[in-house]
Structure 1
Amino acid sequence: MLLLEFAMFPTSRGDSVSPFVARSLDIIDNSGLPYQLTPMGTIIEGEWEDVMAVVKACFDAMSTDCERIATNIKIDYRAGSGERLKSKVESVQKKVGRKLST
């Protein structure tokens, strides 16, 4: 199972890129894959092919009207079951002994 964190944004469309990020989040949300939106990017969980297909769909949508796009990607693969979006956070909270801001 794969956890992929990425941020994708145009560098050629001015200071505010939220309309382009929103376009990507619509694609991610409609993918049906578990995800978590953060202020600095989005984390998606799933099988390699499925997660990469979502990233590609985001790029394809952005590239229709953006001449330059920056993308940062981090990948954590671990064989086995899913639900790591929640279980990794819960594991740390258990060790700290309290709920943390997520």
Structure 2
Amino acid sequence: MAIAEFTIIPIGTATTSLSAYVADLHKELEKHTDIKFEMTPMGTILEGPLDRLFEVVRAVHEVPFLQGAQRVSTSIKIDDRRDKQASMAQKMHSVAERLN
């Protein structure tokens, strides 16, 4: 299981506000029920098989174009751990244990 974080930035839009784009990205993510996701103020984190994560990022990358954006910049970070199971929850739990 891999974890990926991505940020999608539509460029050349009529406004500096991106909340309408983010809302539509969220709607697209909800269609992919086999992938866990968590939106943050600065990006979105996905959890699932690596091939599926690439497919989902590709699908959400297309969303701003459907809204009229002429250019989209997408950044992706991937944590693909293969020595043991990893998840978003496990990573947070590991840090919380060290804080206590």
Alignment TM-score, normalising by the size of structure 1: 0.86
- Secondary structure at the aligned position of 1:52 is classed as helix
Alignment-derived partner of residue 23 in structure 1: 24
**Partner of residue 87, structure 1:** 90
Aligned partners of 2:56 and 2:20: how far apart in 1? 18
Unaligned runs of 5+ in 1: 98-102
State which drifts further: 63-72 or 34-43: 63-72
Worse overlay, 69-78 or 87-96: 69-78
**Long gaps (5+) in structure 2:** none
Aligned amino acid, residue 2 of structure 1: A
Could you say which residue in structure 2 is the equivalent of 1:48?
A: 50
Question: What are the Cα deviations for residues 18-38 of structure 1, in whole angstroms up to 9, with x where unaligned?
Answer: 111111111112211111111
2:9: which partner in 1?
9
Percent of aligned pairs sharing the same letter: 30
Contact 1:5 1:43 in 2 (8 A): yes
Q: Which residue matches 1:70?
A: 73
Count of aligned residue pairs for this structure pair: 96
Q: Taking CA–CA contacts closer than 8 Å with sequence separation of 6 or more, which of the two structures ends up with the larger relative contact order?
A: 2
Question: Structure 1 runs of 4+ off > 3 angstroms?
Answer: none
Q: After superposition, what is the alpha-carbon deviation per residue over 1:59-101, rounded to whole angstroms, capped at 9, x for unaligned? A: 222222210112121111012435x11000001001111xxxx
Q: Secondary structure at the match of 2:31?
A: helix
Q: RMSD of the alignment, in Å?
A: 1.3
